[in-house]
Chain A
């Protein structure tokens, strides 16, 4: 991406990226009961980063977010697989999920589900893969 002389876009995106990232985390967490989930959450996270790419250029973003997204994708897949194995350790089938009510200090009575852990894997895999593809295609050399 070329450096674009676009003050409005730069200024807006600085705020917008924070909002999109917060929204994506919200989408991810609320997935259990309301629209959202790992896939959508991951994708909107990607959308925020893509906005950064467009505004600041890939190289600049890559310098500031020094993460190898191929590894993120791999870790995501591994997390999903290992939550499945967790079910086996408890003597149940592979990928057996469970849930329960837990009392947490700040959140109060909360429902926690192992499916969320699985969803973390999904989200990471989606983020890792999409950004790997976009960054390798967008690498303008």
Chain B
């Protein structure tokens, strides 16, 4: 338990130092070697929790962050969080190792790469450990941003930028609606802690906000996990370097949505809406992804669609499993609960085989310079190890023994069959359709797995189409996929070791109500006898082989769907229309004239300040406590008025500036008469400096001339000027007449006794209100930098302009 937060924060801490390290050691040593230890330490440290978690205990830690708002960095470490955390750190280690060989230390901006990667790693761990919904949201968005930065890593490519933009727009849209959902949950229950929410399931489920909150949260999960119809960002995200595609866009970040759905299953599960939404969207995504994968010729795009399809599979399993809560703990419920177990199992399996496949595709891209299956073929002799790795990965994905994908695919079929025959949630006739869609999607999955394997490694070599001669990659690059492929096989032979230590606790974490009843026991077996699930697998293999053999004949039917009506084009159309619309709106008021902006600002002041005074009946006149007006004051007043009139009527800028200065100095005199020496001093210096500044500005202004302006222009100016003057005068009078705040005379005593100062103004500024002063000078410095930047920008642009002429 000790040092949990320190270890979890390790990626963030390291990210700060990476740029400095990079500067010193690169290119002598690849920066990745120094980053590598972070996920390694994390993985080893998290492994030390396995005995605790598998013994059925849960670790709950609390670190106050903003306790006054109830925002605490509470960490909730249970089976589900641990499975995800181990995938994040384990895959993180393998991917970093792989990236050391994949990214050149001479050409690439490695410090950026590793900073973003570490940022992501830390944020993703934050997502799975956070107990507070809002803390979870913050980390969730950080993962979106780091993903954006990593997709746009090669930002000089146009496609990288548009892909990054697309992913950010879609996932942040989802994230925001998720935030709205969280806020609804918070409004219903008054708590933001996920564990506390679990105790209020009945309150939430009977609340009218239940369905809106559910839909909003699901939007977040679906966009993040690339579910239909939000899946369009994932194929474009493949512009990222391959280690990133393997890490973020197949193993971890896209599973954040799945994590959220699993985490909140207890909250929403059991409702028909949740069942249909999650399972339905999952199945549609499974089908859509596998069908589109067939159309792809780029290996990475193919893998992207296959990831979409596999994510849909996991999502639909979670949806089907939520029916368990409808039945409650017991024999009937447990049958469905197995679907959730299968989801967690397949999630782990997918991380292993898809990670392996991505890395092999990265190797092919790296060694041959292309990923198009049209140019590849017959690489088996040249790249035997890559071939074996692809064989393992793709057959695991296709769901064949002896690979781990077979086990979870069988469980998927069993779950779908079970859901298909059960008459609940108005299932009726839809049941058999459900089974058919799932089966057909699996057939397509089988076909594209064969495409990956056979079109790349078997058949004829197209050496003439390749830039480089095919050869095997270096050992360092092969190491990570070899480890993953080994895991694929090991998990098939010893699934129950994994199950006992990790999957079982994770399962119990999703369904804690079942765990108490001790009904969550499942033994993974490769052989169930000749049952329906096995027959379905055999059917998949037979039809899949047939379809692959005849693929060239029926491929053109895939292209029948008109290209114009794709989701991608809808997205582009929406983006363009939004741009046009917002530009039109903005152009209406952003005219580029300082005078117009002043009109907005001053009109706003009149409306808001004057309106507030009017609405709250704040206007009062009370002259009863006034002291007598002396002759000095009358004279000063007359001087001020004449100065103001001079500004209005003067024919030259210099006169105006001097008149404004004179006005200021008379205000200074007022302060002196009213015995406010500090104010007087300040005002005096400020007036001096401002006058000089104004004089300097005259240098840059065009020649002064009277302009003939239309009467409407003058009318607006007049109304605004009189309005601001009136409102401010009224506010000043009312402020004097009201006594809203206690007198500050107490500070006379305090400033001497507590601050040791005889000057009360200074004591207030630096001591009692030190925080205000600190922020003020901060704002002041920022404004100064702003002025500096604006003027420098203007000057350099002008110089460039002159240079080009």
Contacts from A to B (Cβ < 8 Å): 27, 31-40, 43-44, 46-47, 50, 53-54, 70, 73-74, 76-77, 80-81, 84, 94-95, 97, 99, 111, 113, 115-116, 118-119, 121-122, 125-126, 128-130, 132-134, 136-141
Interface of chain B residues 712 through 767 with chain A (CB within 8 A): 755-759, 761-763, 765-767
- Map CB proximity to A onto B686-698 as digits: 1 under 8 Å, 0 otherwise: 1011001100110
**Interface secondary structure of B, over-half rule:** helix
| A37-B767 Cα distance, complex, nearest whole Å | 12
- Check B792 for interface membership: any CB of A closer than 8 A: yes
- Check B787 for interface membership: any CB of A closer than 8 A: yes
Closest B residue to A125 by CB, please name it: B777
**Chain B residues, CB < 8 A from A54:** 692
A97 x B777 contact (CB < 8 A): no
A136 x B681 contact (CB < 8 A): no
A73 x B692 contact (CB < 8 A): no
What are 6 pairs between A and B in contact, CB < 8 Å?
Answer: A36-B681, A40-B682, A47-B685, A77-B781, A81-B774, A122-B773
On chain B, which size bracket covers the interface?
35 or more
**Chain A residues, CB < 8 A from B756:** 32, 99, 111, 113
Among the listed B757, B766, B788, which residue makes an inter-chain contact with A132, where contact means beta carbons less than 8 Å apart? B788
Among the listed B758, B759, B762, B780, which residue makes an inter-chain contact with A126, where contact means beta carbons less than 8 Å apart? B780
- Map CB proximity to A onto B184-226 as digits: 1 under 8 Å, 0 otherwise: 0000000000000000000000000000000000000000000
Among the listed B686, B692, B771, which residue makes an inter-chain contact with A134, where contact means beta carbons less than 8 Å apart? B692
Given A32-B757, A35-B677, A97 contacting B767 (CB threshold 8 A): yes
- Check B784 for interface membership: any CB of A closer than 8 A: yes
| A97-B693 Cα distance, complex, nearest whole Å | 36
A132 x B785 contact (CB < 8 A): yes
**Chain A residues, CB < 8 A from B773:** 80, 118, 122
Given A40-B681, A80-B777, A47 contacting B688 (CB threshold 8 A): yes
17 additional A-B residue pairs with CB within 8 Å, beyond A129-B780, A129-B781 = A37-B762, A43-B686, A46-B689, A47-B689, A70-B785, A73-B780, A77-B778, A95-B770, A99-B755, A99-B757, A118-B773, A132-B784, A132-B787, A133-B788, A134-B689, A137-B693, A137-B791
- Check B538 for interface membership: any CB of A closer than 8 A: no
**Chain B residues, CB < 8 A from A53:** 692
- Check B108 for interface membership: any CB of A closer than 8 A: no
Among the listed A40, A77, A138, which residue makes an inter-chain contact with B777, where contact means beta carbons less than 8 Å apart? A77
Closest A residue to B757 by CB, please name it: A32
Contacts from B to A (Cβ < 8 Å): 677-678, 681-682, 685-686, 688-689, 692-693, 696-697, 699-700, 755-759, 761-763, 765-767, 770-771, 773-774, 777-778, 780-781, 783-785, 787-788, 791-792, 795
| A27-B696 Cα distance, complex, nearest whole Å | 27
B758 x A136 contact (CB < 8 A): no
**Chain A residues, CB < 8 A from B795:** 139, 141
Given A35-B678, A43-B682, A137-B787, A122 contacting B777 (CB threshold 8 A): yes
- Distance in Å: Cβ of B488 to nearest Cβ of chain A: 52
**Chain B residues, CB < 8 A from A74:** 781
- Distance in Å: Cβ of B717 to nearest Cβ of chain A: 26
| A79-B575 Cα distance, complex, nearest whole Å | 47
Among the listed B681, B697, B774, B783, which residue makes an inter-chain contact with A137, where contact means beta carbons less than 8 Å apart? B697
Closest A residue to B766 by CB, please name it: A115
A97 x B762 contact (CB < 8 A): no
**Chain A residues, CB < 8 A from B700:** 137, 140
B693 x A84 contact (CB < 8 A): no
- Distance in Å: Cβ of A49 to nearest Cβ of chain B: 10
**Chain A residues, CB < 8 A from B770:** 84, 95, 97, 115, 118
B787 x A136 contact (CB < 8 A): yes
**Chain A residues, CB < 8 A from B781:** 73-74, 76-77, 125, 128-129
**Chain B residues, CB < 8 A from A97:** 755, 766-767, 770
**Chain A residues, CB < 8 A from B787:** 132-133, 136-137
**Chain A residues, CB < 8 A from B761:** 35, 37
**Chain B residues, CB < 8 A from A35:** 677-678, 681, 759, 761
Query: Top 7 A-B pairs ranked by shortest CB distance?
Result: A129-B784, A99-B756, A125-B777, A35-B677, A33-B758, A43-B685, A95-B770
- Distance in Å: Cβ of B780 to nearest Cβ of chain A: 5
